Structure formats: C-alpha cells, structure tokens
Amino acid sequence: VWGNCLAFIQDNIQPQAFKTWFEPIKPIKLTDKALSIQVPSKFFYEWLEEHYVKLLKVALTKELGSNAKLIYIIKMENKYGNKEPFTEQIPSANRTAVGPQELDVPITSKSPELKNPFVIPGIRNIKIESQLNPNYSFENFLEGDSNRLARSAGMAVANKPGGTSFNPLLVFGGVGLGKTHLAHAIGVEIKDKYPEKTVLYISAEKFTQQYIESVKKNTRNDFIHFYQLIDVLIIDDVQFLSGKSGTQDVFFHIFNHLHQNGKQVILTSDKAPVDMQDIEQRLLSRFKWGLSAELQSPDFETRISILKNKLYRDGVEMPDEIIDHVAKNIKTNIRELEGAIISLIAQSSFNKREVTLELAQQVVEKFVKNTKREVSIDYIQKVVSDYFEMDVATLQSKTRKRHIVQARQLAMFFAKKFTKASLASIGSQIGKRDHATVLHACKTVDNLAETDKQFRKYIEDLSKKFS
Ligand code: ADP
Ligand code: MG
C-alpha cells in the first residue's frame, strides 16, 4: 500500500522534495484502514502535516478508500533532534547515556478511534515514551532509615498504581537525596509490571516550558489532552511551579482529571507541602490528599552502603578507611557522596596510584568547595524569566511592556548584586544595553522595593534562588 502511495506522490512532487520528505518514512503496519508510518522526528511530522497533508490524503484514499487513516509514529527525539533532525540523528543506543530529564517528550501519535480519515493534530490519541532511566531502579535505591517510608510507599504505588490511597504520592526532601531516583524507580517498576500502562516522567520545568510553548502556539488544549491520556504521571520538582499561576492552573485541571479517573500521580518537591510558597491553595490541598513522604539525609550506615554499592557496581576496591572518610565528611547530599567517590576512582586510575587517605582528604575537600558555584548572568536571566513565565529572549527584547521591563530590571539588579560583572558588561549581556540603563534599573528596583509590596515579594523570592 505504502509503495503505491509513494509512487503516486513521487509523480506529483519535485524529486528533491520526495527524497527529503518521503524516502525517510518507514511504513510500520496496516490494520484495517489505518496505515502507520514512522517519521524521524516531530519536526518532520509537522512539516508533512503542513505541506503534504492533501497529497497524502489523496494517495491514501486512492489506496484504502474514503475512511482511510494515517497514523504517525514519531521516533524518539532528543534535544538535538529538534533543531536539526537530519544532520544529527542520534542512534537510539546512545540515548540512555543522556539523562532522561534532557529529553523532550516525544509525541507519538496514534489514532484508533478517529472518525475523520486524517489525523488532526489535537484530537489524535497519543502514545508516549516514558522518559524513564532504567538505571534508577528500586534495586539500586538502597534502603535506610532515612528513606524507608518513601521507598515503601513508592513500592506500594508501583504494585497498584492508582489503587492505593497514596494518590498523589509526594516525595520531598533536600537536594541530592534521591527524589528523582525514586520517582524513576516507581515508573520503571510500573512499566515492568504493567507494560500496557502509559507512564510519563517529566520535570516540572519541562512541563512548564511545554505549557508556555503551547500557549504561544495556541495549542493549549492539545497540551491538556496529551496529559489526560496518561496512566501514571510523574512530575519532578514541583516547587518549580511556584509563582507560575498559568502552569499551576493547567496542572490543576490535569491533576483532577487523572485523579478522578483513577490514574496515579507522583510528585517530588524540595519542600513539604506546608512549606511550599506561591503554590495555589487548591493545588496544595490536592497534594495533601495522598501521602507526603520525606527523604531525609542518610545516616552514616546508609552512606557507607551507598558508597560500597557504587564501588561494587563499578568493580573497584577501596580501603575501608577511605570509604569511612568520605562517608563521614559528606553528609547531606548523596549526589556529592557519589561525586566524591567517582572522582577518587578517576584520580587513582589516571595517576595509577593507590588511593591514600591523604588523596581522599584532598578530593573530599575540593568536592565540598566546588559545589558552591558562583551564579552567572545567564543563569540569573534564566531564573528571572522562568519566574515570570517568559523566555529569555522576551526578557531581553526592546519591548516597553511594564511587566517585561520589570523583569529585565530585576535581572540587571541581581546581576549587579550576585556577580562581579561591571555595569557595562551586565548591560551588554542583558539585551545589549549600556551601563546607564543598568544603573537606572538598579535604582528603580531599589525604589520599588521600598514602595511596592508585590515587587518586594519578587525580590525576596528571587534572592532565595541565588544565595
Ligand atoms: P534529588 O532528585 O533528590 O536531587 P537524585 O535522585 O538526583 O536526588 O539523587 C542523587 C544521586 O544519589 C543519584 O545518583 C542517585 O542515584 C543517588 N541516590 C540517591 N538516593 C540513593 C539511594 N537510596 N541509594 C543509592 N543511590 C541513591
Ligand atoms: Mg532531582
């Protein structure tokens, strides 16, 4: 069927266009009157829909009759795939190396019940890649007093997604204590037990970006539909939604829909619900419906077993004395704990020397220091733009709209406060302004901080993110 379609299409378009847009398509299967084709990227799919949908329709109708359907299956993309899907195809084997957080949610469309012969963006059914990292399994998530409750709640949810009173399950705790790992582990386990369930892991940041994008492109409804199709939704770092009322609002709707339909929601956050700021009350009350379980700092024994497990998995041996030293000095962050041991392993193999206690001391010391990094102007712009739910380009633009001007002035103010950059350098990096503009911005912010309560709140919120 596809061969015939192709022949027809080839007769009707330029050879170059045919080569570019139709040769890469793979026919996958034909069921009833629905032909599934695989396209290399979402971009590719959009291009086809935009430029060749009529042609495809005619070709397919000729072959399959008037109620033919076309189903696109989109190969998973990563962040490179979006921009240059043709020059930088990443083979699927490499994908696991990229953290799942880095991947865009690939939207794979599928439309079994569609009446209309053609897949209309927005009403199609969607198949979703989970974005789960198989290395973040329960098996690798060592148990200790600090995580026992959260871990076993996670297991319970994984055994019966949507079927426990832990809905939503909210896992909270400080940086590097295993929230992301545990969130993945639950998803991985569910996928394992219930392969037919649609599981999606996404960071709240990515979720927000997608939402903003959908508003820009006028596809907000598609966005909502997409999320309503999921059986198990895992949103990491929901504190990121604080102050973002648009995104919170849409999440509230999605949450209600999923919850009412017995779907499982898993959330992580760096704070307990009671301590979350600038999250709407109605959303907070939803968070409290289920179970909030804390991940605490691991005790000494757990730190030791995490280190030993890491060494064991890497096939490296190290004297107990060294392991002890690391575990004693890095207490509140498992990521740092792992970082230090990885760095020790690397040092010893590069320099081909025994890991001495002295070396361990150096590494640990450096490691603890290095994690306190300086904030950059780029980072400040990103944080401020996120906070006001706009993108950096908007923040830098020439527009005089009040809220954008304010955001820009705040970014300049924080750049002055938290970096060592000169006024001129700050100006040039924030939308090519001169030093006088930056100076004026700093003064304006100071003034507003005194006179405007709301504005003072912005400053307080944002300051926390930089200090
Ligand atoms: P968070 O999301 O809370 O900042 P992560 O989930 O990214 O923390 O965890 C940081 C690192 O610590 C990851 O490499 C993770 O695998 C590891 N880790 C966290 N908790 C455990 C645990 N209980 N057992 C083994 N490794 C852990
Ligand atoms: Mg995390």
Name the residue at shortest CA distance from atom 16 of ligand 1. Answer: 181
Of 147, 181, 304, which is best to mutate to test ligand 1, by the most ligand atoms within 8 angstroms of its C-beta? Answer: 181
Expressed in angstroms, the distance from the first to the final Cα of the chain is 62
Angle at 5 between CA 56 and CA 48, to 5 degrees: 30
Which distant-in-sequence residues (6+ apart) come within 8 Å of 331 by Cβ? 297, 298, 303
**How, if at all, do strands 125-128 and 107-110 pair?**
antiparallel
- The pair of structure tokens assigned to 138 is 């329960």
Strand partners, 72: 37
Q: Give tens-digit pLDDT for 217-231.
A: 999 999 999 999 999
- What is the mean predicted confidence (pLDDT) over 130-140? 94
For CATH 3.40.50.300, the residue range(s) in the chain are 148-295
Q: What is the ipTM of this complex?
A: 0.99
Name the residue at shortest CA distance from atom 13 of ligand 1. Answer: 335
Q: Which fold has domain 300-370?
A: Helicase, Ruva Protein; domain 3 (1.10.8)
Q: Give the range among 96-100, 356-360, 377-381 with minimum mean pLDDT.
A: 96-100
Which distant-in-sequence residues (6+ apart) come within 8 Å of 441 by Cβ? 408, 409, 412, 413
User: Is the confidence at residue 268, as pLDDT, over 80?
Assistant: yes
Q: What is the rounded CA–CA span in Å between residue 292 and residue 172?
A: 7
- What is the mean predicted confidence (pLDDT) over 95-112? 33
At residue 120 the predicted structure's pLDDT band, cuts being 50, 70 and 90, is very low
Domain spanning 2-128: which CATH class is it, in words? alpha beta
pLDDT at 76: 54
Q: What is the rounded CA–CA span in Å between residue 310 and residue 87?
A: 37
From the CA of 174, the nearest ligand is 1
Contact, 264 vs 167, CB < 8 A?
yes
At residue 352 the predicted structure's pLDDT band, cuts being 50, 70 and 90, is low
Q: Where are the beta strands (DSSP E) in 3-110?
A: 26-31, 34-39, 69-74, 107-110
Determine the atom of ligand 1 nearest the C-alpha atom of 142.
Answer: 24
- The pair of structure tokens assigned to 75 is 């190969």
CB of 151 closer than 6 A to ligand 1?
A: no
Q: 180 CA to middle of ligand 1, Å?
A: 7
Asked if the peptide bond before residue 161 counts as cis, ω within 30 degrees of 0, the response is: no
CB of 334 closer than 6 A to ligand 1?
A: yes
Domain spanning 148-295: which CATH class is it, in words? alpha beta
Determine the atom of ligand 1 nearest the C-alpha atom of 237.
Answer: 2
User: Which ranges in 128-172 belong to alpha helices (H)?
Assistant: 148-159
Q: Give tens-digit pLDDT for 18-34.
A: 877 888 888 888 888 88
For CATH 1.10.1750.10, the residue range(s) in the chain are 377-466
Q: Which fold has domain 377-466?
A: Chromosomal Replication Initiator Protein Dnaa; Chain: A; (1.10.1750)
CB of 178 closer than 6 A to ligand 1?
A: yes
Q: What is the rounded CA–CA span in Å between residue 30 and residue 41?
A: 21
CB of 335 closer than 6 A to ligand 1?
A: yes
User: Is the confidence at residue 353, as pLDDT, over 90?
Assistant: no
Q: How much is the mean pLDDT over the chain?
A: 84
pLDDT at 45: 78
Amino acid letter, 321 = E
At residue 54 the predicted structure's pLDDT band, cuts being 50, 70 and 90, is confident
> Percent of the chain scored above 90 by pLDDT?
55
- Which contiguous run of DSSP H or E holds residue 282? helix 281-287
Higher pLDDT, 47 or 114: 47
CB of 381 closer than 6 A to ligand 1?
A: no
Q: How many CB atoms lie within 10 A of CB 214?
A: 17
> Percent of the chain scored above 70 by pLDDT?
86
CB of 141 closer than 6 A to ligand 1?
A: yes
User: Is the confidence at residue 327, as pLDDT, over 60?
Assistant: yes
Contact, 340 vs 367, CB < 8 A?
yes
Q: Give the range among 29-43, 45-59, 198-212, 363-377 with minimum mean pLDDT.
A: 363-377
Q: What is the rounded CA–CA span in Å between residue 37 and residue 179?
A: 38
CB of 146 closer than 6 A to ligand 1?
A: no
Q: Where are the beta strands (DSSP E) in 181-231?
A: 199-203
Place of tokens 């993108």: 391
